[in-house]
Chains A and B, each alone.
Chain A
């Protein structure tokens, strides 16, 4: 399977909303609600931010939200903060495997 498609970069000023897209196919993103989003700061392990398209694990700020329409999932950061500057990856269940997106670097201007 091919990687999910994410824009390489996104940016926003503090307080603005930023949305990152993640496009797959009818065999992965479009077929299941098992889409997750991960945040990774330089030199650190990824951290789960969203699972099951729109669920937030305990401790994740509610400014992070997720949605899905057809074969495309989205992560929105409402009121972006400087500490949100990081790489973000989406993933999708694909039967007996997991597919990741190529990652999006979020820059807070």
Chain B
């Protein structure tokens, strides 16, 4: 059974950094495409970025609002996906979901972790 468990969400000041984790089970993270999706309070879903499987090169793509500030990576030994977030802004406040990616979109979703950027 596929399971995704995010952690690491917290209250952080503007300009600060945070690393989110997504522990996976039921499959190997490096063998599939994975994405991060976020949802600001009371708002819709927003794609953050995608990492391709290592078997096809592991390329990473980011949405424009987070490019150059966020970094997606994976740890094969822990079967975990990460989202390193730097230079955080108030508008980054959201629930962050990690998902598997298949058939052109998010497939299995985690439960999400809340990031609040506020002074």
A residues at B contact (CB < 8 Å): 3, 32-36, 38, 45-48, 51-52, 55, 57, 89, 91-93, 96-103
Contacts and interface: CB of A to CB of B under 8 A. Distances in A.
Contact of B106 (A36, A96, A102, A103): A36
Contact of B105 (A93, A102, A103): A93
A45 B109 contact: yes
B45 A38 contact: yes
A98 B106 contact: yes
Given A93-B104, A97-B63, A103-B44, 7 more contacts: A34-B105, A46-B97, A92-B104, A97-B47, A98-B35, A98-B50, A99-B47
Contacts of B111: 45
Contact of A3 (B44, B50, B97, B104): B44
A52 B104 CA distance: 8
Given A45-B109, A46-B97, A34 B45 contact: no
Given A96-B50, A98-B35, A98-B50, A48 B44 contact: no
Contacts, number: 71
B104 A48 contact: no
17 contacts: A35-B104, A36-B104, A38-B106, A45-B109, A46-B37, A48-B108, A89-B45, A91-B106, A93-B104, A96-B61, A97-B50, A98-B37, A98-B47, A98-B105, A98-B106, A100-B47, A103-B45
Contacts of A102: 44
